Amino acid sequence: MEKNGRNNSVKSDLGSKRRTQRIGEQLRRVYDEVAQEDVPDEFLRLLEEADKARPSSTSDKS
């Protein structure tokens, strides 16, 4: 009986392993879908503007 139980669970482990990977992938892809999008130009533009707007401490090397 213990043997049967073990066999069954091995079998369903195989099935659930695939499902597991699928759910894990989906969870990561919810994040990656956005992370892999092209960054809208506005972000880099804002960053450049902020960089240029800083008080003229051009001599940064200390």
Partner 1 sequence: MTDNTEKLSDVDFKRELAALIPHLRAFARSLCGDATLADDLAQDAMLKAWNARASFQAGTNMKAWAFTILRNVFYSEKRRSWRRTPLDPEVAEATLVSNSNPSDTLDLLAMRNALGRLPIDQREALILVGAGGLPYEEAAEICGVAVGTIKSRVSRARKAVVEILESNGAGYSDDSNMRAEDAFNDIMRQADDIAGVG
Nearer to partner 1, 7 or 35 (CB): 35
Measured CA to CA, the distance from residue 33 to residue 26 in angstroms comes to 10
H-type alpha helices, the chain: 2-35, 41-53
Q: Does residue number 10 form part of the binding site for partner 1 (CB under 8 A)?
A: no
Q: Does residue number 33 form part of the binding site for partner 1 (CB under 8 A)?
A: yes
E-only strand ranges, the chain: none
Give contact residues for partner 1 (rule: CB under 8 A).
12, 15-17, 19-20, 22-24, 26-37, 39-40, 42-44, 46-47, 50-51, 54, 60-62
